[in-house]
Amino acid sequence: MNYRHIYHAGNFADVLKHAVLARLIVYLQQKDKAFRLLDTHAGIGLYDLSSEEAQKTGEWRDGIGKLLEAELPEPAASILAPYLDAVRSLNPEGDITLYPGSPKLARMLFRPQDRLSAMELHPDDCRRLARLFEGDFQVRVTELDGWLALGAHLPPKEKRGIVLVDPPFELDGEYERLADGLAKAYRRFSSGVYCLWYPIKKGAPIAAFHEALKALEIPKMLCAELSVKSDRDQTGLSGTGLIIVNPPFTLKDELHAILPELKRVMAQDRYASHRCFWLRGEE
């Protein structure tokens, strides 16, 4: 309950997560039929990067700040365009002061038929999120533990959807909880596209987490990781990971195009790296 994403909004982890979320939305929009995004840990939706909290860490400067200033080659520029264009549209004067969290980004990309269910447990943050979308019939904001939503809110009535699980990882056992949450959700909604975020830092049980996911025997799971620095810092975030279940068939090639550019632009030391591979499924 003490976590505040404003300190981290727009950092390199947000960049990869939101770039991939935008691609998933664009892909589902290739069909006219409506879909729903279930955002289990939605936050406040829109972040003021000029605020005292954001300025205190300045993490966005090494993330979205660098990416917006970078010259990107094709096809990376086109792949990242839906995400970056959304960020730019919030900052028409050029200087970046506003950054969209996942619910705001999704809503900016939606068609009239698409829907968002945004879950947020923290009462103050939930109220701010509700005010952001007040009167918007395409968005439903609920004060709820996002882990519970993986059972109670699936499957969506649209029968098509994206489930974004982006927990703060404040407590021990969150990697195990993420694997268990996916197992529960997949039993209810096996056709959904899932995007699970996890942090990479010194001592994180990444290998065990991957093995736990493999043991679920879900047919298609794609993994993308981006590290921007050495993990020698025992407390700081050195990298970010995503597990995408039932990914679009185009996503792996898109990730192979953008990950090298994201590493080039946002690397903080010579140990920066990236990888993208099938955890289960196609090779």
Mean pLDDT of 81-91: 98
Say whether 231 counts as a known binding-site residue.
no
Q: Which residues are known catalytic residues?
A: 166
Model confidence at 105, pLDDT cuts 50, 70, 90, reads very high
Say whether 8 counts as a known binding-site residue.
no
Tell me what pLDDT residue 153 has. 94
- CA 174/CA 134 separation, integer angstroms: 32
Mean pLDDT of 140-164: 95
Mean pLDDT of 101-122: 97
pTM of the model: 0.96
- When the pLDDT of each residue in the chain is averaged and rounded to a whole number, the result is 94
Q: Is the pLDDT of residue 228 over 60?
A: yes
Q: What is the pairing mode between strands 193-200 and 46-48? A: unpaired
Model confidence at 3, pLDDT cuts 50, 70, 90, reads low
CB 39 within 8 A of CB 119: yes
Say whether 146 counts as a known binding-site residue.
yes
pLDDT tens digits for range 44-70: 999 999 888 878 888 999 999 999 999
Q: Which CATH number does 14-45+102-280 carry?
A: 3.40.50.150
Say whether 166 counts as a known binding-site residue.
yes
Q: Where are the domains of the chain?
A: 14-45+102-280
Q: What is the pairing mode between strands 193-200 and 221-227? A: unpaired
Say whether 85 counts as a known binding-site residue.
no
Tell me what pLDDT residue 2 has. 43
